[in-house]
Amino acid sequence: MRIVPAVDIRGGLCVNLIQGDYDQETVFSENPVDQAIEWYNGCNSIVHIVDLDGAKAGRCCIENELKAMQDAGIPVEVGGGIRNMDTIDTLINLGVERVILGTAAHSSPELIKESAAKYPGKIVVGIDAKDGKVALSGWLDVTETDAVTFAKEVEAAGACRIIFTDINSDGMMGGPNLASTQAIAQAVNIPVTASGGMSALKDITAVNALEVDGVDEVIIGRALYLEVFSMEEALAAAANEA
């Protein structure tokens, strides 16, 4: 199980939201690039970057930060505001290892097919769900689309991975929604990254049990920032050494 630290960027700052609510924001660092470097040095894993301004604006708003991360040799996956091939091209040219489609995957499924064909193994779909329904546009729009059904559709379209986030759990420090994550993983044959609600080492251990279902990564944000546990402790739990 890989630990994937999260760096959410808004207004040039490293922040964290509760349940995707832009009015419930905590600033954890004034320099998201330095934060990404710190996390990478601690885990030697890909870093999860969320462009919160881009999620609202529908375009990439963090090109300068991504260029700095590329210069520093930090492998990243990026989501937020990626709605067309031009943006995907830009991100790939900036050295982004994985491009995460969210709203666009739902509204423009052909974009998954086109981009996955052009960049095999680099197109990921982020499925954010509330009460089992897909949420879009920075979680502002909850649809009637069933998350498990959608997972099957994006796999068929060519996505190489799914990042599943349960909105009700995200930022709440109450533990992940294991049942929903497992349902997604069991429905597809591509790997799944668990996201949202990691609040204790026992949560990482619990996600470990889903490896048999295809969950091989877990994104951790707020718990690391609040120093509930250290990166070293998280890595040990992910390796079943805690």
Residue range 138-194, pLDDT digits in tens: 566 788 999 999 999 999 999 999 999 888 765 555 678 899 999 999 999 999 999
Residue 126: which CATH number?
A: 3.20.20.70
Residue 202 token pair: 């026992």
**What is the pLDDT at residue 242?**
43
Q: Specify the 3-state DSSP secondary structure of 40.
A: helix
> Annotated catalytic, 128?
yes
Angle between helices 63-71 and 32-43 (to 10 degrees): 40
Q: What is the mean pLDDT of residues 123-147?
A: 85
Higher pLDDT, 172 or 83: 83
Contact assessment for residue 221 and residue 47, using Cβ atoms and an 8 Å cutoff: no
Contact assessment for residue 107 and residue 94, using Cβ atoms and an 8 Å cutoff: no
CA dihedral 43, 44, 46, 51 (to 10 degrees): 60
Q: How far is CA 138 from CA 12, 20, 21, 68, 164, in A?
A: 17, 7, 9, 25, 14
> In the chain, what are the helix, strand and coil shares in percent, each to the nearest 5?
40, 30, 30
Nearest C-alpha neighbor of 79 from the set 93, 64, 95, 61: 61
Give every CB contact of residue 38 below 8 A, 6+ residues apart in sequence.
none
State the total domains in the chain.
Answer: 1
> Annotated catalytic, 170?
no
pTM, to two decimals: 0.92
Domain that holds residue 203: 2-238
Q: Exactly one of 53, 128, 170, 203 is catalytic; which is it?
A: 128
Q: Which phi and psi angles does 197 have, rounded to 5°?
A: 90, 5
Residues 182-228: pLDDT tens digits?
Answer: 999 999 999 999 998 898 999 999 999 999 999 999 999 999 999 99
